[in-house]
Amino acid sequence: MCRRFTVVTWDEVVEVVRELQADSPVNAQPDWPARPIVGEGVAVQVEPGEGAFPGAGVDVIVRRSESQLAVERLTWGFPVEWQQRPVYNTRLETAMGPNPGMWEQPIAQGRGIVVTGGFFEAHATQTVRSPKTGRRIKQQYRFESGEGSPLLLAAVCGQGCFSVVTTRPNASVAPVHNRMPLALTLAEARWWLRAPWPSLVASWQKLANREGFALAAVPEQPAVPAALGQGTLF
């Protein structure tokens, strides 16, 4: 279950858009706006380098037309009536299954790409001591590209919101967590954005649990309270 990822700069998002549209026969190098489209009521965008949590406003790549992509600032998480917290992850198997529920329209018509520097998962059993409370907390791991390039995470979008698509973990993530975001190669991201619905129905399982998609797992150090870090309590 992904509930935090690192936000990248606007320039990095635009560069990914250019790469995704490099093979487009029409308008291959569009005149990109300086800022993304912002929907009504969307949350404030997180600064580059910081971690985005559900409820944050994030720049998401979406398909504007058959040959052109756009960037929209969407809120992470779909509000639902049965709980106070928004639903911010979409199980790929559920969305593509016989009973997709709330994901039927987003997966068919609102697929998007989140560009990130890395995503975080909590270890199932490993713990560390919190400098803030002294209690044992789950060890967080940051998963990033081994090459240092941004990760492209599959998303579904609708009504000014988006959700990160998750799948079974591959060999890089399985030792830490039983789910992971659906991370895509550039070619797979093009297909995710553009594939006609029948094509997605026929081939979506090829995207899940690919052992060849290697990620680097970096343990995150628990944050030290500012007062402790500055030595003002001693």
For the chain, give the mean pLDDT.
Answer: 84
Q: Tell me: pLDDT of 201 over 50.
A: yes
Pairing of strands 37-38, 69-76: parallel
Q: What residues contact 95, with CB distance under 8 A and at least 6 apart?
A: 103, 104, 106, 107, 156, 165
What is the tens place of the pLDDT at every residue in 135-182? 898 999 999 987 778 999 999 999 999 999 999 998 889 999 999 999
Among 203, 198, 206, 189, smallest CA distance to 21 is for: 189
> Which token pair is 185?
């190669």
**What pLDDT shows up at residue 190?**
94
**What pLDDT shows up at residue 28?**
41
Q: Tell me: pLDDT of 185 over 70.
A: yes
Report residue 52's pLDDT band, with 50, 70 and 90 as the boundaries.
Answer: confident
**What pLDDT shows up at residue 27?**
44
Mean pLDDT along residues 114-126: 92
Angle between helices 186-194 and 10-20 (to 10 degrees): 80
